[in-house]
Amino acid sequence: MKEALKFYIDGAWVDPVEPKALEVINPATEEPCARISMGSAADVDKAVAAAKAAFPAWSQTSREERIKVFEKIIEIYQRRYDEIAETISTEMGAPIWLAKAAQAATGLAHFTTNLEILKTYPFEEVRGTTQLRKEPVGVCGFITPWNWPVNQIVCKVAPALAAGCTMVLKPSEVAPMNAIIVAEILHEAGVPKGVFNLVNGDGPSVGAPLSSHPDVDMVSFTGSTRAGILVAKAAADTVKRVAQELGGKSPNIVLEDADLQKAVAGGVQGVMMNSGQSCNAPTRMFVPQGKHDEAVGIAKAAAEAVKVGDPLAQGTTIGPVVSETQFNKIQDLIQKGIDEGATLVTGGTGRPDGLNKGYYVRPTVFANVRNDMTIAREEIFGPVLAILPYETEEQAIRMANDTEYGLSSYVQSGDIEHARRVGAQIRAGQVHINGAGPDFNAPFGGYKQSGNGREWGEYGFE
């Protein structure tokens, strides 16, 4: 079992002010795989003081100096790539193929994207008689989740480093070991002491004091809407900037002229990947009333082709969900879908056959879902798809927008201009047309209770 009982503060690994250990659970085995220390406000004070002291020098470094640091970070990250993937797979349950192909890959992609932005970014420009200078905001507090852990760490840390900020990171205590590796990479790459600091802990003990700290100039949070509201409230008294990337209940509108087989099967795959633990997953699928039954048949076959199992086993499509807490929440919501009268097409409560240990969830599809049902309103964060029939395109758009969230959306059509016209009417931060994947240069973030601010690419840089 790995141990990481120290925090990274001011360029060194230091003991917590008050020792308090937490076991990290492997969700595939329900057994401990690591131990970390849980921090406190006193540890946050030390880390923020280090970041504040480092800011004057780091903020004045040249573009060329930062480029050299980035090149070194990328070199070391590539060397430790497989270790990062294996760590993520162990602590949050992603299949090893996904951990290598996407989880670890996103961290590298954000570092390389921000390096390219840094090389040519216009920090100064003249407009009329005024010179505009874009300057680092200061000390940043970062609070990141467990579902795409290194992605959400690096999409905050990389632009902050490139812009000349200093920072304190609180990664998720559920999947913290990948963050330890990131800290080791930055240290080896020569990031000056105090520029990057890491304190492990939970929201009340570390997240809250970091959000409210008077010497933190900006806090960036990714996680649930409930926790994001608490972060914003904690930050309000010191009038710091707040960026939030929160929950989602993304609509996937399959238009009348779409290739139904491709659209529905692809939509199911989009929901199931990462065991449904993606804030932008297309979890509400809208299909024409006249094609509902055909779409349900396609979705059933696609979901039943998903192989749930050991993240390290060959052929596994999805692994477990991250924790017992998440498992129980998903089970309750599946049961609520049944109780409220949605048609259970496949899946349901309980573990998949043959899996008696681990937080494994059955790939589940509901049909004949109404938009007022709990499974259509709440973010389930598991491999659960709701299929909602619609009569007219206008009704589909209206139902798609009838949500407190607005992170992402999906539109499927045989005519790309048709898809764009519909997509332009969806209140969401991103519209994916015909299965378009992520773009690391595009802004990532949402409307309404999906958050404020944008990450990724130049927009995250700014």
CA-CA-CA-CA torsion for 447, 449, 455, 459, nearest 10 degrees? Answer: 30
pLDDT digits (tens, 9 = 90+) for 251-290: 999 999 999 999 999 999 999 999 999 999 999 999 999 9
Determine the pLDDT at residue 443: 96
Indicate the pLDDT class of residue 448, thresholds 50, 70 and 90.
very high
pLDDT digits (tens, 9 = 90+) for 88-125: 999 999 999 999 999 999 999 999 999 999 999 999 99
pLDDT digits (tens, 9 = 90+) for 354-399: 999 999 999 999 999 999 999 999 999 999 999 999 999 999 999 9
Q: Has domain 251-439 been given CATH number 3.40.309.10?
A: yes
Decide whether 2-245 matches 251-439 in CATH topology.
no
Determine the pLDDT at residue 70: 98
Domain boundaries, the chain: 2-245, 251-439
Contacts (Cβ under 8 Å, ≥6 apart) of 7: 13, 14, 15, 16, 37, 39, 43, 47, 197, 198, 199, 200
pLDDT digits (tens, 9 = 90+) for 163-188: 999 999 999 999 999 999 999 999 99
Query: Which structure tokens are listed for 295?
Result: 């779409």
Determine the pLDDT at residue 265: 98
Determine the pLDDT at residue 309: 97
Q: What is the mean pLDDT of residues 313-321?
A: 97
Determine the pLDDT at residue 245: 96
CATH classification code of 2-245: 3.40.605.10
Q: Which of 155, 165, 279, 455 is catalytic?
A: 279
Task: Answer yes or no: 279 catalytic.
Answer: yes
Determine the pLDDT at residue 341: 98
Report how far residue 389's alpha carbon sits from residue 403's, in angstroms, rounded to the nearest whole number.
16
Q: Which of 91, 173, 245, 455 is catalytic?
A: 245
Determine the pLDDT at residue 299: 98
Task: Answer yes or no: 245 catalytic.
Answer: yes
pLDDT digits (tens, 9 = 90+) for 191-235: 999 999 999 999 999 999 999 999 999 999 999 999 999 999 999
Indicate the pLDDT class of residue 413, thresholds 50, 70 and 90.
very high
- Percent of the chain's residues with pLDDT above 90: 100
Determine the pLDDT at residue 120: 97
